[in-house]
Amino acid sequence: QLQLQESGPGLVKPSETLSLTCTVSGGSINNRNYYWGWIRQPPGKGLEWIGTIYYSESTYYSPSLKSRVTISVDTSKKQFSLKLSSVTAADTAVYYCARHVGYDYVRGSYRLPSEYYYYYMDVWGKGTAVTVSS
Amino acid sequence: QSVLTQPPSVSGAPGQRVTISCTGSSSNIGAGYDVHWYQQLPGTAPKLLIYGNNNRPSGVPERFSGSKSGTSASLAISGLQAEDEFDYYCQSYDSSLSGWLFGGGTKLTVL
């Protein structure tokens, strides 16, 4: 059963770069049926999508974070990573990594990767808390 | 601010049926993109509850159901139980944002 585990510093100074890694175990990161993404949740607030990557080929970023975000994949290590630059206290949150999948119940098959807009997050990591503070 | 609008809270007595709405626009739900629902206990990771508007992953009780019409979607929970007290989030895709988005979340209280 596929599992995801986030790792990285729990404390980052303002103006520095937040770097997190998500390690995939119990399954393949190379499966072209899946996208891989990052979502965060500030304390006491809702979920916010950060960005998503497909097989090192395509990346999608939240417009509000796009200028500061980079997501990459290292298939040899079965990991994908998040870098968020110039952080402020507003970036304090629990950061989750998640697998995106698009299963068409009616057709009984996975949607094409080009139909990513139908995808949802079916497997989540447990999350890692990151505080931005000096 | 989320472009998928959910009520901050809903409540119901055990055994009752409650619904949680998720109101979008022509660039997301109204554009035909699927709506998915997640269940989250504060401090833990979200869990997929409904995918593709009205489909339940294996292990999710039949008491949970989803629907979509126009620019809105709903999650219905029948036979409400105390253990249903979670935060619930809807999620879809938005063509204007060119990305995935979540509703603001709804806290369910079982009276």
Which of A47, A58, A66, A71 to probe by mutation at the B interface, max B CB count within 10 Å? A47
For residue A104, what are the contacts with CB-CB under 8 A and spacing of at least 6?
A: A110, A111, A118, B52
Q: Is B9 on the interface with A (CB under 8 A)?
A: no
Query: In chain B, whose CA is at the least distance from the CA of A125?
Result: B45
The pLDDT assigned to A56 comes to 78
- Residue A105's pLDDT band (cuts 50, 70, 90): confident
pLDDT one-digit tens code per residue, A20-50: 999 999 999 988 899 999 999 999 999 999 9
Position B1 scores a pLDDT of 52
Q: How confident is the model at residue A55 (pLDDT cuts 50, 70, 90)?
A: confident
The predicted model gives A80-102 an average pLDDT of: 97
pLDDT digit string (tens) for B46-103?
999 999 999 999 999 999 999 999 999 999 999 999 999 999 999 999 999 999 999 9
Tokens 């995935």 correspond to B100
Q: Which of B40, B51, B95 has its CB closest to that of A103?
A: B51
Inter-chain contact A118–B52, Cβ cutoff 8 Å? yes
Flag if B51 and A122 touch (Cβ within 8 Å).
yes
Is pLDDT of B2 > 60? no
DSSP state of B44: S
Amino acid at B33: Y
Taking residues B29-33, report their average pLDDT. 96
- pLDDT tier at A106, thresholds 50, 70, 90: confident
At B37, the pLDDT band (50, 70, 90 cuts) reads very high
Using the predicted structure, report yes or no on whether residue A62 has a pLDDT greater than 70: yes
Q: Does B97 touch chain A (CB under 8 A)?
A: yes
Which residues of chain A make contact with B98, given a CB cutoff of 8 A? 60, 63
The identity of residue A85, as a single letter, is S
**Which three-class secondary structure state does DSSP give residue B31?**
helix
Give the mean model confidence (pLDDT) for residues A109-129: 93
How far apart are the C-alpha atoms of A28 and B2, rounded to whole Å?
Answer: 33
Residues of A with Cβ-Cβ distance to B86 under 8 angstroms? none
Among the partner residues B34, B44, B105, nearest to A46 by beta-carbon distance:
B105
Which of A47, A52, A122 is opposite residue B48, by nearest beta carbon? A122
CB within 8 Å: A117 and B57:
no
Of all residues in chain A, the percent with pLDDT exceeding 90 is 83
Q: Output the average pLDDT for chain A.
A: 95
Give the residue-averaged pLDDT of A69-85.
Answer: 96
Q: Within 13 Å, how many C-alpha atoms sit on residue A7's CB side?
A: 8
The one-letter amino acid at A128: T
Of B22, B42, B44, the residue nearest B33 (C-alpha): B22
Q: Which two tokens stand for residue B20?
A: 């949680």
A19 in helix, strand or coil? Answer: strand
pLDDT at A92 over 80: yes
